[in-house]
Amino acid sequence: MSNSLGNNLLYQGFLTSTVLEHKSRISPPCVGGNSLFQQQVISKSPLSTEFRGNRLKVQKKKIPMGKKRAFSSSPHAVLTTDTSSELAEKFSLEGNIELQVDVRPPTSGDVSFVDFQVTNGSDKLFLHWGAVKFGKETWSLPNDRPDGTKVYKNKALRTPFVKSGSNSILRLEIRDTAIEAIEFLIYDEAHDKWIKNNGGNFRVKLSRKEIRGPDASVPEELVQIQSYLRWERKGKQNYTPEKEKEEYEAARTELQEEIARGASIQDIRARLTKTNDKSQSKEEPLHVTKSDIPDDLAQAQAYIRWEKAGKPNYPPEKQIEELEEARRELQLELEKGITLDELRKKITKGEIKTKVEKHLKRSSFAVERIQRKKRDFGHLINKYPSSPAVQVQKVLEEPPALSKIKLYAKEKEEQIDDPILNKKIFKVDDGELLVLVAKSSGKTKVHLATDLNQPITLHWALSKSPGEWMVPPSSILPPGSIILDKAAETPFSASSSDGLTSKVQSLDIVIEDGNFVGMPFVLLSGEKWIKNQGSDFYVGFSAASKLALKAAGDGSGTAKSLLDKIADMESEAQKSFMHRFNIAADLIEDATSAGELGFAGILVWMRFMATRQLIWNKNYNVKPREISKAQDRLTDLLQNAFTSHPQYREILRMIMSTVGRGGEGDVGQRIRDEILVIQRNNDCKGGMMEEWHQKLHNNTSPDDVVICQALIDYIKSDFDLGVYWKTLNENGITKERLLSYDRAIHSEPNFRGDQKGGLLRDLGHYMRTLKAVHSGADLESAIANCMGYKTEGEGFMVGVQINPVSGLPSGFQDLLHFVLDHVEDKNVETLLERLLEAREELRPLLLKPNNRLKDLLFLDIALDSTVRTAVERGYEELNNANPEKIMYFISLVLENLALSVDDNEDLVYCLKGWNQALSMSNGGDNHWALFAKAVLDRTRLALASKAEWYHHLLQPSAEYLGSILGVDQWALNIFTEEIIRAGSAASLSSLLNRLDPVLRKTANLGSWQIISPVEAVGYVVVVDELLSVQNEIYEKPTILVAKSVKGEEEIPDGAVALITPDMPDVLSHVSVRARNGKVCFATCFDPNILADFQAKEGRILLLKPTPSDIIYSEVNEIELQSSSNLVEAETSATLRLVKKQFGGCYAISADEFTSEMVGAKSRNIAYLKGKVPSSVGIPTSVALPFGVFEKVLSDDINQGVAKELQILMKKLSEGDFSALGEIRTTVLDLSAPAQLVKELKEKMQGSGMPWPGDEGPKRWEQAWMAIKKVWASKWNERAYFSTRKVKLDHDYLCMAVLVQEIINADYAFVIHTTNPSSGDDSEIYAEVVRGLGETLVGAYPGRALSFICKKKDLNSPQVLGYPSKPIGLFIKRSIIFRSDSNGEDLEGYAGAGLYDSVPMDEEEKVVIDYSSDPLITDGNFRQTILSNIARAGHAIEELYGSPQDIEGVVRDGKIYVVQTRPQM
């Protein structure tokens, strides 16, 4: 819809004067016309001011502060790496925990930064702190506080640290120059303990100079100005008299300190008064001539003048001049003898003669760019604990006990063999009424039952069209029935002979005539009529309802009991929006109890409503103010939930975006009243306007916003009916829909030319009223509700006054005015910057309680929506843009998305990555495109993860509820997709697609990454996931095109090639399998090429890989046959396993490792000890050798487990593969023989390793469980099918367990000493990840950092790709138990990676911020680490004399190798 600025901003433009009615205001110059005519007085310096409420009155001398609500800016927690800190202290706490505090003195201004970093602390640390001022001993509590800070017992502040890897970080910004030092303690909430400094407080002294009053004298007028600037800088807070005095003296101290630094009084005066130099150099400022013209009328007339002039951007002086000219015009009218009321009416009708010069509107390219505030985007991170799963499960698993009628319905449904067409349960008095409709042999059977105690009679009829009452044929009347006029009456009878457990009153009716579509009825109890919430009951005979019920499933993955309640109440909700919103409000408590799934259910229901999938109004007349009041009630409850349950904020925002703002009854009542005034003022009381008037009186809806806009567009087009219908149709309103209203709109508009001006003005004002109720997320109405507006009453019509939201940031109003003035600009970059700046300024207000929070939320939702529409409009701007501009747009849209969603840590780090890429590009770094490609890949992964979350959360509820309510199947199929399309994620994805080919070209990446370069020929088969076909056997040579390849899958038999758009690591399990099995494997980055492959499904293709491309062509059967013969000739001989026996020891040390005792993994690590360079560390190892598992199983204490495993093995041998999971579970029941515990303890302690049992029995149990999990992995599906595929005897596979101490790695790596992609043995290929190596070898999404290094130049590694893995795994000091089977590393078969290695402790998943990772940001550090990795690989290859596959880690710059094996 069009913006309608000219019709809607009369009150927005002058909201300050019309709402607050102040006499004068000093206001900064602003761009745009929406705030042009606030009165301004430019005073001479020295400036002295008095603040009163929301007014600023210019006076002289003293400066008492006003009574606005306090607002303070919030510093943010960031990690500082600034080495220029003047003061730095490091404290050793307990264990290996360290605290470092860096103090950075002011470089300009008066802000000191204090950075805290705790290393190796717990996850929940708080800074308990206060400030100490010069000459004071007690703590004071500064106003500048980081996000999340709470006041503790009015004596201290408590601020949470932010977790960053193994560190916890925090920054304080100290502006108060009177503060000498910061004192603090650290509270460890996770362990409920205080960390002190030798029993006392920590104290950090700031770099301040103590300033004493008598040392420097400052003129009082300068102190007053400085005090005013402080007040303005701090958000114009609401000060007490004591605080005013304190602020005044602080201003004096600041100036004295400036003098102490060498500034003169003249310098200070020039600085403080420079903003007034311009006005001083001019003539005396214009003064408002005293007159009888009220300010609101003068400003309204000034607005009309500004609008007629073309809405130019006036400077402040011109604004004042225009205001005076408007006042002069009105004064002339008064002198003609008219009254103020008459004058007001003439202004409203635009009848005051005015002469203005038409200005050319500024072109969009002239819009001034803004300097955005520098922010650490880390402050955007929203991390909340997951929804209480136990609570949600309780809702799902323990539904409330079924009522008598619901139990009866369940039993009845089980008895009925025929299809059930409809089922409804109504609430009636103190009981319930069940209606079941079934179809049998062309007859319709209606079964009714109720648990009411008193005798009940059914007063009923039949319908051939819904709602119609027709007397039933006498042939179908049940016994005891009587015929009345247009109805029949039939008594219920006690249901006691049907064998059901629930005894109720019931009644059966069989209808043979198939022309009836439903049955209307009411109940009669004695002399009392029982209705459905005041209306008739009605049940339809349509088969669609049954099909929906059948598709609904069991409601798993939903808050089913809540959805069932919604479904039961939908017939009531259909009556009107008032009913629907009140029911939704009643259900908020149930939704809160159900947690995330509960709010998901409410969202789905409201979304069905908003997209017109549900009936908006049905046979019920409701006043607009009643709808408005119901909306207000619902949005108040949503606002409260937003505050009290921050973990659900994202989904609560989404619910609010489907519901209008609502408001007090006066706003809703104006919908009804104002249309009458429009008709009366413009002489349009018949036709379409009267029909619309009747509809508005009966039941207003969001359609009315569209109708109003269509009328405005129609009038503006000089009454072109085509424009009227175009606006309606584009917004989903057809002629049929207009006719479907209870008060139908039959006519088209038909206005006269002389009505044009008045109708445009009045309908423009009316649009504000409609949007205030129905369109909470509409930008104009959302801004108006936050900034305040006032609409006068007229005659019987009530007035409305919406007060401004208090505590809005300084300059925020100007941002919003700019947005409104430029919201339709073609070039959108500056608009996007202002929109994002407005959202950033608004964000702190959304995170704390506020009785106007919902207005702020609706504003934020509207700003978010405007970003999306602006970006889509700006695509044309990017057609010929350089990649840097596209990256900048991506960063803006990503910032917008991060501001809108929860659990956004990954998105925020992507945002930081894009800024890093822009910085690299601007700085001339030739790796910028390669790095940007990694950020792009990670951003795509983050979007995919978000989409998966939406689908998992919302789709089950949409399908279950939608099926019950009869929502169109197509709408259910795309429900989640449409939710995603409505957000910033869709715009972001489009921008990524636009940038991807540009980056690939710039970084010379091509369209392919070749993982296994093998020539192949076969039939093309397209699948969604490789996982779904990994156990298939293809009879013909097959080229698989798989959308998803995670990295841990097997390649199915018969597959000769695997093509995917996914990005598994080159060294992942599936990659190794492909190379070992001589299967062509490649990632395709070009969607067009991929689409061509998919289009060739079923055809035969020949693939010829090059180092950077795959050349493919269609071939015939003959060429396929010759290729197949070649493959068969190359097939290796059958592999064989030799079964290992127990060697008599439960545990052995590294010097006892032999081929009879352990696998190659253990032997290789023992061989390296003492042979590799001293720069390479080798972890200490012991092992549980071959045969120990079988020995433990045969022990008497495990007889029961052995018997159970025998049964399961037989089941497996018979082809029941479900036994695999049961076998793994059963293995975990094994008990440890005492001798095993004894020997393992001795070997570990003898080797210098810690013994878990020393930390208590629980720790040994953890270790024992890890050992059993390694043994059990022999029966994981991937390993079992892999051995079957190469015809290895799985029973002969034996498992040793290698035991090593875990190195808490900074990085992990895998090396192939011959490049696996090219086969080049002159260069080493390696991949590196943050944290432990499981993210590299396991199925973790994203790519590792990859590089090659020539063996003849190990000091010059070449980065091939930067990391895109979002997750790193970290762990405290622990033990890992590694699988070491006799089935690994057989010649021609890569068994490594099939079985599990299990740490004793669970790893911590950390979202990685690569923008602070020195491996990415520090070129020298990167070269050193990568060279050292390559050097270690080369040394080990030379030691063995053959290519090696090596795993290792980096800790504090030192290389450790944890295993090596021959490269396959």
3-state secondary structure string across 684-744: CCCHHHHHHHHHHHHHCCCHHHHHHHHHHHHHHCCCCHHHHHHHHHHCCCCHHHHHHCCCC
DSSP one-letter code for 1146: S
Query: Which three-class secondary structure state does DSSP give residue 1266?
Result: helix
C-alpha neighbours within 13 Å on the C-beta side of residue 5: 18
Run of H or E including 1113: strand 1110-1114
Residue 323: C-alpha distances to residues 75, 306, 311 (Å): 40, 10, 14
Cβ partners under 8 Å of residue 982, min gap 6: none
- For every residue of 633-686, DSSP letters joined together read HHHHHHHHHHHH-GGGHHHHHHHHHHS-----HHHHHHHHHHHHHHHHHHT--S
Are 507 and 519 a contacting pair, CB within 8 Å?
no
Strands 431-440 and 443-450, bridge-based pairing: antiparallel
Sign (positive or negative) of CA dihedral 36, 41, 42, 47: negative
1346: nearest Cα among 937, 976, 750: 937
Residue 935: C-alpha distances to residues 894, 1008, 1269 (Å): 12, 18, 36
Strands 1454-1462 and 1176-1177, bridge-based pairing: parallel
The neighbour count for residue 1078, using CB atoms within 10 Å, is 15
Question: Between helices 624-644 and 649-658, what is the axis angle to 10°?
Answer: 170
Which residue's structure tokens are 């007090």? 664
- How far apart CA 1045 and CA 1052 sit, in angstroms, is 13
- How far apart CA 1124 and CA 737 sit, in angstroms, is 64
- How far apart CA 1425 and CA 1450 sit, in angstroms, is 8
Are 298 and 329 a contacting pair, CB within 8 Å?
no
The neighbour count for residue 1148, using CB atoms within 10 Å, is 23
Q: 202 has which bridge partners?
A: 184
Q: Tokens at residue 345, please?
A: 């009416």
Are 1212 and 1201 a contacting pair, CB within 8 Å?
no
Q: 152 has which bridge partners?
A: 156
- How far apart CA 1452 and CA 1429 sit, in angstroms, is 13
Cβ partners under 8 Å of residue 112, min gap 6: 103, 104, 105, 106, 173, 174, 206, 207, 208
Phi-psi region of 612 (alpha: psi -120 to 50; beta: other; left: phi over 0): left
Q: Tokens at residue 313, please?
A: 């951007």
Q: Tell me, what amino acid is at 723?
A: V
Q: Which residues are tagged catalytic?
A: 1069
Q: Tokens at residue 1415, please?
A: 């491996």
Q: Tokens at residue 1458, please?
A: 């944890």
Q: Tokens at residue 8, please?
A: 């809607």
- How far apart CA 1126 and CA 1222 sit, in angstroms, is 42
Q: 1025 has which bridge partners?
A: 1044
Query: Which three-class secondary structure state does DSSP give residue 1251?
Result: coil
906: nearest Cα among 1362, 508, 1365: 1365
Cβ partners under 8 Å of residue 482, min gap 6: 488, 489
